[in-house]
Structure 1
């Protein structure tokens, strides 16, 4: 069964992988948090998805900067520095002898609460930090197999309601959008902003190609994606016109190509949106070129 951009190759080695819970390495099946943990109880925390290549986390500084920005927004003290957390990541990979085809879920929550209540003044422990590494290779077919996307009713919210740029543990609006997309027979959902412009997908960022130009949203109503920003920079460095702008579903239906970006699968082509075939329904030349440029960028960053 395919799960769109997050389709992966099962790996039996994951059964014996050790997770890092608050600085302690524990077997995967014993990696647990207390029911009073803020993340479990209220979705009170932030997280990052990381990819490992050649034994190094790709674009680690960018990910940690985004994590620290989220922690500052939620007024959470992680109790460690970025350098100390980076070392903890390295120690976890070394303990598992992991060097390639690894995905890490790095999670930081506010910590334990004395009672089920949202007020942060009831916190009775330091922040909870979990490093969950897995052998998780994207399904190779994802690079070529066109995705089916569906626009949905659930919108990306305004920052005065729940800042869409915050990578919080609370993903209910994205999950709701995903359910709507799945029920429509799609791989993933396209979410609009409060004004009706295309914002992002429920778990990836979204781009279209029109007459040789690459378009993506303004970024006002989506997470500051690391892969998204790298693709925009690659376009600029390789004379591919790229624009962060408002556009609607009408522009998507008439696009020559479309694709998504994300840490796990990189760039994935889109062949159908709301039942309309995009271009000829297959991976287009600009998407293929950007895929190769992105892989080369990862190789340089992790050499």
Structure 2
């Protein structure tokens, strides 16, 4: 991919990467799951995206807390303790001689079914756990030039429909939003909440800067983003006013800056929304300052060590 919030260059080493599947670390071509797996059949499961930096898993406690919270909500037994899962992820990275510049997709599904049916009563055995580590770095050009967003008709739903706080495998609403945005020539979708206020993007979280203050959505209709929370933390440490609130698109169009956040790329500026140029149409001064602060936070979280992963 060369555009969008997950734009990255291709690394030939990923063709031979080893992947963890249910207790085995396998070559990529052999890393498969059954057609009767709950994740394949129904999107029944939860997942996390995690970065490996200096042999350490960045903000892993928060990632695992979110994973287990979602699993508990859908009554899914992960089958490992958080500490065991943490160590298994590291073991998978060690099997690939990985240390930094690595993005990991952790997937946990409800496991095998006796027949294609949605009820967990049709499940047998334990959860399916898959760990996919890849050498993957953000496209630096996108980090500099920023993204184009398009507001879509697909809204983020309330918790009584499908809790947006679940990092679930069932992503069709976000995929539909992504498709609409891409058909409109944008990089990512800006999604509204049921009242019409800005909620989030289809795969990242959205922020604006107005008169020196950083604003993001109320958080009621979006995932509890790890990077989102870290940016709010960094802003507080830097003395930059920042808060969660509700705001309409009108405030977006007239913002001084805008950016999105995510585990993979950190902070990416937004250059326009629905054809309206935001600020200077690129990386603004507060976004730049927060991004450096976020990089510094990762460095504190994952300092170099003499023993590589």
Q: What's the offset of the Cα at 1:115?
A: 0.5
How many angstroms apart in 2 are the aligned matches of 1:100 and 1:172? 31
TM-score by length of 2: 0.97
Q: What's the offset of the Cα at 1:142?
A: 2.4
Q: What's the offset of the Cα at 1:132?
A: 0.4
2:69 equivalent in structure 1: 69
How many angstroms apart in 1 are the aligned matches of 2:62 and 2:206? 20
Q: What's the offset of the Cα at 1:248?
A: 0.5
Partner SS state of residue 118, structure 2 = coil
How many angstroms apart in 1 are the aligned matches of 2:280 and 2:302? 35
Given that 2:45 and 2:107 are in contact with CA atoms closer than 8 Å, whether structure 1 keeps it comes out as: yes
How many angstroms apart in 1 are the aligned matches of 2:141 and 2:214? 23
2:270 equivalent in structure 1: 270
Q: What's the offset of the Cα at 1:129?
A: 0.2
1:211 equivalent in structure 2: 211
Given that 1:260 and 1:270 are in contact with CA atoms closer than 8 Å, whether structure 2 keeps it comes out as: yes
Matched, 1:241 2:231: no
1:201 equivalent in structure 2: 201
1:18 equivalent in structure 2: 18
Q: What's the offset of the Cα at 1:3?
A: 2.8
Q: What's the offset of the Cα at 1:2?
A: 2.7
Q: What's the offset of the Cα at 1:281?
A: 0.7
How many angstroms apart in 1 are the aligned matches of 2:282 and 2:87? 42
Count how many residue pairs are aligned between Structure 1 and Structure 2. 303
How many angstroms apart in 1 are the aligned matches of 2:145 and 2:59? 26
Q: Deviations over 1:7-53 (max 9, x none)?
A: 00110001111000011010011111000000000000000000111
How many angstroms apart in 2 are the aligned matches of 1:214 and 1:55? 32
Q: What is the aligned-residue RMSD (CA, Å)?
A: 0.7
Partner SS state of residue 113, structure 2 = coil
1:253 equivalent in structure 2: 253
How many angstroms apart in 1 are the aligned matches of 2:3 and 2:63? 24
Q: What's the offset of the Cα at 1:55?
A: 1.1
Gaps of 5+ in 1: none
How many angstroms apart in 2 are the aligned matches of 1:244 and 1:86? 31
Given that 1:103 and 1:264 are in contact with CA atoms closer than 8 Å, whether structure 2 keeps it comes out as: yes
Given that 1:142 and 1:265 are in contact with CA atoms closer than 8 Å, whether structure 2 keeps it comes out as: no
| 1:175-194 correspondence runs (5 A) | 175-194=175-194
2:45 equivalent in structure 1: 45
Q: Deviations over 1:182-210 (max 9, x none)?
A: 01100000000000000000000000000
TM-score by length of 1: 0.99
How many angstroms apart in 2 are the aligned matches of 1:128 and 1:284? 43
Q: What's the offset of the Cα at 1:146?
A: 1.8
1:139 equivalent in structure 2: 139
2:86 equivalent in structure 1: 86
2:225 equivalent in structure 1: 225
Partner SS state of residue 138, structure 1 = coil
Given that 1:214 and 1:240 are in contact with CA atoms closer than 8 Å, whether structure 2 keeps it comes out as: yes
Q: Deviations over 1:218-244 (max 9, x none)?
A: 000000000000000111111100110
How many angstroms apart in 2 are the aligned matches of 1:29 and 1:3? 27
Given that 2:2 and 2:9 are in contact with CA atoms closer than 8 Å, whether structure 1 keeps it comes out as: no
Which segments of structure 1 move beyond 4 Å, counting only runs of 4 or more? none
2:168 equivalent in structure 1: 168
